[in-house]
Amino acid sequence: VEPSLQAAFVEYGGNRHGFLAFSEIHPDYYQIPVADRQALLQADAEEAQAEEDEDEENEERRNRRRRRGRGRGRASDGKKASAENGFAETAPESAGDDAAAADADSDGGEDEAPAAIAEAVAADVISEDAPEAAQDEAEDADSDDNGGDENGNGDDEVVSVGAGDALEEVHERRRPPRKQYKIQEVIKRRQILLVQVVKEERGNKGAALTTYLSLAGRYSVLMPNTARGGGISRKITNAADRKRLKDVVKDLDVPQGMGVILRTAGESRTKAEIKRDYEYLMRLWDNVRELTLKSTAPALVYEEGSLIKRSVRDLYNKDIDEILVAGEEGYREAKDFMRMLMPSHAKVVQPYRDTVPIFARNGIEAQLDRMVQPQVTLKSGGYIIINQTEALVAIDVNSGRSTKEHSIEDTALQTNLEAAEEVARQLRLRDLAGLIVIDFIDMEENRNNRAVEKRLKDCLKNDRARIQVGRISHFGLLEMSRQRLRASVLESTMQTCPHCGGTGHVRSESSVALLVVRAIEEFLLKDSRNHITVRTPV
């Protein structure tokens, strides 16, 4: 326990220690009187309920604003049509407002446009002290301001995309302040905790841990000790789908003190499929709990499935016709898991029986080898160079032999568009993370820059990592950041070169020869021996 950091370092085996912040420790682990602990848990539950009520109220307010916005838009269109036909608008403003309100009420059941929904999700929360009408007007003003920013061409605009990982869809938990307690007062040395790794260890940095657990399924995420009954992924923006899924969550009968979040993958799933996934997670949690009680710490009680299970859970969709699995044990695991998740799709999983290894048959080995090469060739003849440094990942785009287009501008645009798609793919393949700077080929027209930005953002939408994307600057550079989910391919498969020390450079022969001569001269000035042995790197 480290009082100065208000955190604890948890030993999890192998003489390794993980970092556990005080805010990530559940009150169940506090060594305080039972009555005080119950009061803390009750306060957390009340805060979670208040947060849920606030979310519902905000959603209702956004729906009202969308309906009113549609009504105003139609009234505005009507005025424009009248003006074009030569009719003057003589009705007072109040009448127009009444008509707009009537239109809004009559259209309340229609499906909302995706653009309006996306704008509504980003709305700010207004103070409850203000009158409701004033709040709505303020929200409209905020919405207009935000829309203006989105349409602007400022280079400092940053857009968040990706975050398709299962646990990224969990609502960010509010960390209630524990002002009445300090970590050294409630957590003791050698105390046993059940923790989950939220960020893997890297280099000298230990893993980041939490005691607020999350178990991911195909359509939902179970939070066994988070006091929030249920919720919907914020990435599901369609109002009708959100309402339907909320009814599904209510019917799941989630135990008190637990929470469930429905993932984006469950947006179009039936109630029976979601319920089957939830029951699987509950059985999984029971197994984890039983194994925890039997184990002697430190011990691994659960890891997020094997590679086969995670692949089936996160990557499979109805567009995939066949899943080939080499090895009888792996095949049975994939078949059983698919049969449990989606029984009607179990026939998609087939064993690979050929004598030629599955990777060799499908050219996977060659692709794996290309993953560690700095140069990636594009179909058009251009190429990109990927360099990882301590500070950032630099990606350079070059046109190379790409000369199919009629003008330099068109060649640059097509190469940049192709490079944007390949960069998004390489980020996932190589697990590149941190600050990433892409040097696109310079283009004269601003609309071409916007087209490249849009292509890159579209290709990054399905990335599991959380990504922030900037805009192309005057120098042709685009900055972005990508969440680090695990060590990159280079870090996990390569070691530092013993000759250059990882710099990629060694002295030339002439430089080494000159260095040797000067070193001998300097040595003879200090010690005039007749016999000198010189050793130089090859």
Per the CB < 8 A criterion, the answer to whether 87 and 79 are in contact is no
- Residues listed for the chain: 538
Question: Range(s) for CATH 2.40.50.140 in the chain?
Answer: 1-32+181-211
Per the CB < 8 A criterion, the answer to whether 257 and 220 are in contact is no
CATH architecture for segment(s) 374-493:
3-Layer(aba) Sandwich (3.40)
326: which strand partners? Answer: 352
Which H or E run includes 421?
helix 408-430
Per the CB < 8 A criterion, the answer to whether 212 and 194 are in contact is no
Q: The tokens 């604003």 sit on which residue?
A: 65
* Each residue's pLDDT expressed in tens, for the chain with a length of 538 residues: 999 988 999 998 878 889 999 988 888 888 888 787 777 777 777 776 676 667 667 767 766 776 676 666 665 655 555 544 544 444 444 444 443 443 434 444 434 434 433 333 333 333 333 334 434 444 444 444 444 444 444 456 777 776 555 555 555 555 555 557 888 888 999 999 999 998 888 777 788 999 999 998 888 889 998 876 567 877 777 778 888 888 888 888 888 888 888 888 777 788 888 888 888 899 889 989 999 999 888 898 988 767 888 888 878 888 899 999 999 999 999 998 888 778 888 999 999 999 999 998 888 888 888 888 999 999 988 999 999 888 899 999 998 876 676 788 889 999 999 999 999 999 999 999 999 999 999 999 999 999 999 999 999 988 888 899 999 998 889 999 998 877 788 888 888 888 888 888 888 889 989 999 998 888 888 887 778 888 877 6
Question: Range(s) for CATH 3.40.630 in the chain?
Answer: 374-493
Alpha-carbon distance of 62 to 65, in angstroms, equals: 5
Alpha-carbon distance of 216 to 538, in angstroms, equals: 53
Is 2.40.50.140 the CATH classification of the domain at 1-32+181-211?
A: yes
Per the CB < 8 A criterion, the answer to whether 232 and 258 are in contact is no
Please measure the distance between the N-terminal and C-terminal CA atoms of the chain and give it in whole angstroms: 50
